[in-house]
Structure 1
Amino acid sequence: MPAAKLNLKIDQGATFRQTLDWKANGVAVNLTGFEARMQLRQPIDSPTIIHELTTANGGITFTELSTGKFELFISHIDTAGFNFSTCVYDLEMIAPNTDVTRLIEGTITLSKEVTR
C-alpha cells in the first residue's frame, strides 16, 4: 500500500503536536512491538536532516497501542530554530519482524514567528 499524503503546518516557536491513528482496511493496527521514525529534509535528497522524530527520542509516542493511536511531538525550542519555508517528510513504522511501512509522507509549511 502506498504512503498516504498528509501535508502539515508547524508554527515556529510553538509546540507542535499531531495525533494520528493507523488503520488498515478500516481496522486499527496494534502497535505493540513497533518502532517509528520520521525525518524532515529540504530538499528531499539533502544529506542534512532538519529534524528527526523517533519512538526512541520521544518525538513519536504510541498513545494507545491497541487502537493504533500515536502522537508526533516537536518542542517549542526546536521549532523556534527552524528556518525553512517548506520541507518534506515521511514517517515509517517498523514492525517487530523488521518489516518497514512508509505510512505517511508530505510537505511541512513553516509559519514564521513574529513574537519572539
Structure 2
Amino acid sequence: MAGTYRLKIDQGATLNRPLRWLHDGEPKDLTGAEARMEIRTAAGGTLIHRLDTSNGGLVLGAEAGTILIRIPAAISSTWRTFQGVYDLEIVFPDETVVRLLQGPVVISAEVTTGE
C-alpha cells in the first residue's frame, strides 16, 4: 500500500526533494530499478508533468535507497497555482511495480518574478 505524502512545489523555484525508502529499518536496494511519477489535476485528469529516471526528473540511489525528485525552475515557473495529485512508482528489473507514494500536490504561487 502506497504511503501518503503532501508534495508542495513553489512556482518558479527549483525542487530537489530527497526521499529514502526504508524497509524494516534498512535502505531498500534500488539497483537496476526505474521510477516514474505523474502530476495531474486529478486522478485521470490533465497531465501537468511527468518525471522518470530516463528524463532526469527522478534519480535513484541504488543500495542507499534514495530517490531524488527534481523539477527545474524553468518548468515550475510555467505552472499556475493549483491543487492536484501525484503518485510515484518504482519498477524493478523483474517488472514488479510498487506504488511507493501518492497524495496531494500544491503549487504555491510565485510573487517575485525577476522582471
Give the TM-score of the pair, scaled to structure 1.
0.93
Q: Which runs of 5+ in 2 are unaligned?
A: none
Match of 2:68 in 1: 71
Aligned residues: 113
For residue 115 of structure 1, the aligned residue among 104, 112, 115 is: 112
RMSD over aligned Cα atoms: 0.9
For residue 77 of structure 2, the aligned residue among 69, 76, 80 is: 80
For residue 92 of structure 1, the aligned residue among 89, 104, 109 is: 89
User: What are the Cα deviations for residues 27-76 of structure 1, in whole angstroms up to 9, with x where unaligned?
Assistant: 21111110000000112121x310000000000012x3111012000000
Q: Secondary structure at the match of 2:47?
A: coil
Q: CA deviation at 1:99?
A: 0.4
Q: CA deviation at 1:25?
A: 2.0
What is the identity, as a one-letter code, of the residue corresponding to 1:96? P
Match of 1:39 in 2: 38
Q: Which runs of 5+ in 1 are unaligned?
A: none
Give the TM-score of the pair, scaled to structure 2.
0.94
Match of 1:23 in 2: 22
Q: Distance in 1 between matches of 2:22 and 2:56?
A: 22
Identity, % of aligned pairs?
A: 39
* Maintained 8 Å contact 2:32/2:62: no
| Structure 1 runs of 4+ with >4 Å offset | none
